[in-house]
Amino acid sequence: MAELTAGPARRRPLVVRYPSVLIFLTCLGLFTLGATILSEGFGIGVISTSFVKTLGKTLCLCLVALGMDLVWGYCGILSLGHMAFFGLGGYAIGMWLMYERTRLIVVDSLAAGGLPATPEEISSGIAAQIFGVVGASEFPPVWAVAHSLPLQLAAVVLAPGLLALVFGWLAFRSRVTGVYLSILTQAMTLALSLYLFQNDSGLRGNNGLSGLQNLPGLENTSQAIVSIWFLWGSALALGLGYVLAAWMVSGKFGSVLRGIRDDEARVRFLGYPVEAFKLFVFTVSAVLAGIAGAIYYPQAGIINPAELAPIASIYLAVWVAIGGRGRLYGAVIGAAFVSLLSSWFTGGQAPDLNILEYRIQWVDWWTVLLGLSFVAVTLFAPKGIGGLFDLLAARRNPNRHGQDLGPDHGSLREKEADA
């Protein structure tokens, strides 16, 4: 920080430009190490396997929150449909997991029948197993590459990426911004979840994909071990995602992004193709979300269309807002803090509270508390939890003529201050 006052900044490595990267990676590493030591699978068994899974899932949520912060905190696009990308990633990997596991079972049971199985028998056997629940017995076209892990892994990236690309191209091209864009993204995820709810969507309707925690070929490995692997995977993905995001937002690209957030028209008159930038960030963020989903759902074990409902994406926005948008660690802290707190309250572990005659059961009242505290954060602490770090660091903020500037209106305020 001292450097700043000493003179104009020159080129420096990422960790210096963005010091939180090093701190964050250290914390993440220590956390993962700690969880491993305390786990049942590799350590002393203080924390249960299901809690290890919760931690792993939380890391994935942090990753999608990171993506959300990229588009919202840095680029000013409040996407209320990001969990659609998360869900798509989950579906993409879930299809392979379910296909492959069912295939092994079907092959086993056919082999026990006396004759070696033919490809047709295997295929129809798998289809009957998977789609019997929605009254179908043939593979829908979307399952065309479900047999191939590499192709489905590609789909984890491509499905959310393409959706974001097409949707973003349409939306940004017609200069839909602000709340309109938010509602449009919400409509997108609503449409997608309604579509998936149908039985003939080819993805098992509201049954969703299940049994994803069982990795094909690893039936004999206990979940205690697998959960740690996934924890490592989640931590690795989050760490890489953080470095990528920090790299993106720290240089000139980050400047342009924040410029777009604060005054889109001005950036346009500087000659930057604003729509292309938005599309780029939106797509990258969707891909991050898709990858997060692909690591999340094997830990959750089941995915169904309700996971893509608009409310999920709203919660994502809530996490990022509470954590503090416009700073990467804020998004991560928000997602981790609120989602862990949420599962503590809704898991029935929080003690009931007696107010006069009425007994407050947190399972019922947690959502109310969350909603209201969200309002409070928006009103009184727009910087969220991340704002605490500012206080600690006593970082000087720009003089904004006594007005508070949200990330949405960096330069608008000037007009209003004048007005």
Residues in region 263-322 near other proteins by CB under 8 A: 263, 265-266, 268-274, 276-277, 280, 310-311, 314, 317-318, 321
Residue 8 binds to other proteins (criterion: CB under 8 A): yes
Residue 15 binds to other proteins (criterion: CB under 8 A): no
Least distance (Å) between residue 215 CB and other proteins: 26
Residue from 113, 150, 351, 402 that binds other proteins (CB under 8 A)?
A: 113
Least distance (Å) between residue 220 CB and other proteins: 26
Residue 230 binds to other proteins (criterion: CB under 8 A): no
Least distance (Å) between residue 195 CB and other proteins: 4
Residue 354 binds to other proteins (criterion: CB under 8 A): no
Compute CA distances 104 → 111, 125, 131, 227, whole Å: 11, 11, 16, 22
Q: Which is nearer to other proteins, 210 or 378 (CB)?
A: 378
Q: Which is nearer to other proteins, 230 or 366 (CB)?
A: 366
Q: Which is nearer to other proteins, 204 or 258 (CB)?
A: 258
Which string of x and - marks every residue 154-193 that binds other proteins (by CB under 8 A)? -------------x--xx-xxxx-xxx-xxx-xxx-xxx-
Residue from 2, 11, 141, 391 that binds other proteins (CB under 8 A)?
A: 11
Least distance (Å) between residue 49 CB and other proteins: 31
Residue 379 binds to other proteins (criterion: CB under 8 A): yes
Site residues (CB under 8 A) for other proteins, limited to 394-413: 398-400, 405-406, 408-413
Site residues (CB under 8 A) for other proteins, limited to 240-259: 248, 251-253, 255-256, 258-259
Q: Which part of the chain contacts other proteins (CB under 8 A), choosing from 84-92, 140-148, 347-355, 378-386?
A: 378-386
Residue from 15, 121, 153, 225 that binds other proteins (CB under 8 A)?
A: 121
